[in-house]
Amino acid sequence: MIERIKSYLFGIACLLSLWVATGLKAQHIDAKVAFHTDKISQEEKDFLKELDVKLERAIESYRWEGAKRNYTLPISYDVFWDKASRSGTVHNYTAGLLLSLETGLALRDKRAEFRFSTDDWIHLGEPYDPLTGILEFYTWICLAFDADRITPLGGNLFYQQARAVGERARAEAQFSLGWDDRRQMVANLTDSLYVSVRRARFHAEAGNYYVVAGNEAQAKAHLAKTVKLLTESKWRHAALEIDDHVFKFVDVDRLAKSLKDMGMAEEAYTFDVWLKSEESAEK
């Protein structure tokens, strides 16, 4: 009994250290904004000068509601400027976007529309702005994806924030391109179809953490739960592709290694059979 209590307390301590190390919710965004301007004129390049730095500052200084812990989440923002037109001091643009996390998320938007003027106040939130609004929308998606890694379905709050941005975007009829699909993506991600694979993301991360921490009991419990959730899920994949977006919920190679390291032969076999059936379905 004493050993079981010790094991339990050790497990709680490890989980608390995980939360301290990663934070339950991200407090700070480490934004890396990169402009790709080879398709626009030198005049437009000059017009956009230093906007990347201003966007980084706006993103990093924004108060991300629900993100209260001391945790920095690095997000890469790539903007591929495509077309430009002018109306007085206001320039209208189309551009491709790529937001990515090292933890398995790539959000690719082939064609976003927005305007920019040097008189603009670069901000996120209210009032809605087509340029920063779409970046805010995808940032909430990044926060949601990462929060699912730290607590079961922890991303729900952030998906709600993304949905709210999508609703505010309805006010800008001139820049409505793609917003129906973006709103639908949030609806898809919060659909019951993906609940199990989102939960599996948390248990896979926790299991891998406890493997490294040396807590065999906790590691096996979380890894076994991961396999169960994946193999019994209505959504029969470890990743999700919506349009050009890729959500890698579970790192299957790392999971297979953790199962092997823990000597979980039965779960490893079940997972391998499921993985092969997934691969066959994709061919």
Domain boundary among the residues 141, 175, 209 is at: 175
Domain boundary among the residues 121, 143, 175 is at: 175
pLDDT at 58 over 70: yes
- Does 65 lie in the same domain as 100? yes
DSSP 233-267: -SS--SEEEETTEEEE-S-HHHHHHHHHHTT-HHH
- Does 32 lie in the same domain as 163? yes
- Does 163 lie in the same domain as 222? no
Q: Residue for token digits 């976003």?
A: 112
- Does 156 lie in the same domain as 226? no
In a domain, 136, yes or no: yes
Return the structure tokens found at 146. Answer: 């990462």
Residue 30: domain span: 11-175
In a domain, 182, yes or no: no
- Does 152 lie in the same domain as 214? no
Domain boundary among the residues 140, 175, 210 is at: 175
**Residue pLDDT, tens place only, 232-251:** 988 889 999 988 999 999 99
Q: How confident is the model at residue 9 (pLDDT cuts 50, 70, 90)?
A: very low
Which pLDDT value is given to residue 72?
A: 86
pTM: 0.87
Question: What whole-number distance in Å separates Cα of residue 242 and Cα of residue 115?
Answer: 26
Task: Let me know: does 270 contact 231? Beta carbons within 8 Å.
Answer: yes
Which pLDDT value is given to residue 189?
A: 92
Q: How confident is the model at residue 8 (pLDDT cuts 50, 70, 90)?
A: very low
In a domain, 185, yes or no: no
- Does 20 lie in the same domain as 102? yes
- Does 145 lie in the same domain as 16? yes
CB-count burial class (<10 Å; 0-12, 13-18, 19+) for 158? buried
Q: How confident is the model at residue 270 (pLDDT cuts 50, 70, 90)?
A: very high
Q: Mention every residue, 6+ apart, whose C-beta is less than 8 A from residue 118.
A: 47, 89
- Does 58 lie in the same domain as 159? yes
115 SS3 class: strand
- Does 104 lie in the same domain as 53? yes
72 SS3 class: strand
pLDDT at 210 over 60: yes
- Does 164 lie in the same domain as 50? yes
> How many domains is the chain partitioned into structurally?
2
pLDDT at 29 over 80: yes
In a domain, 257, yes or no: yes
**Residue pLDDT, tens place only, 162-193:** 999 999 999 887 788 889 999 999 999 999 99
191 SS3 class: coil
CB-count burial class (<10 Å; 0-12, 13-18, 19+) for 173? exposed
- Does 94 lie in the same domain as 21? yes
**Mean pLDDT computed over every residue of the chain:** 87
Q: What is the largest CA-CA distance in the chain?
A: 77
CB-count burial class (<10 Å; 0-12, 13-18, 19+) for 112? buried
Q: Mention every residue, 6+ apart, whose C-beta is less than 8 A from residue 124.
A: 58, 59, 62, 132, 133, 135, 136
- Does 119 lie in the same domain as 79? yes
Buried (b) or exposed (e) across 179-206, using 16+ Cβ within 10 A? beebbebbeebbeeebbbbbbbbbbbbb
In a domain, 5, yes or no: no
Which pLDDT value is given to residue 10?
A: 39
In a domain, 4, yes or no: no
Q: Residue for token digits 């039965």?
A: 266
Task: Let me know: does 48 contact 116? Beta carbons within 8 Å.
Answer: yes
In a domain, 180, yes or no: no
pLDDT at 224 over 50: yes
* Residues written for the chain: 283
In a domain, 225, yes or no: yes
Which pLDDT value is given to residue 234?
A: 83
DSSP 73-114: EEEEEEEEEEEEEEETTEEEEEEEEEEEETTTEEEEEEEEEE
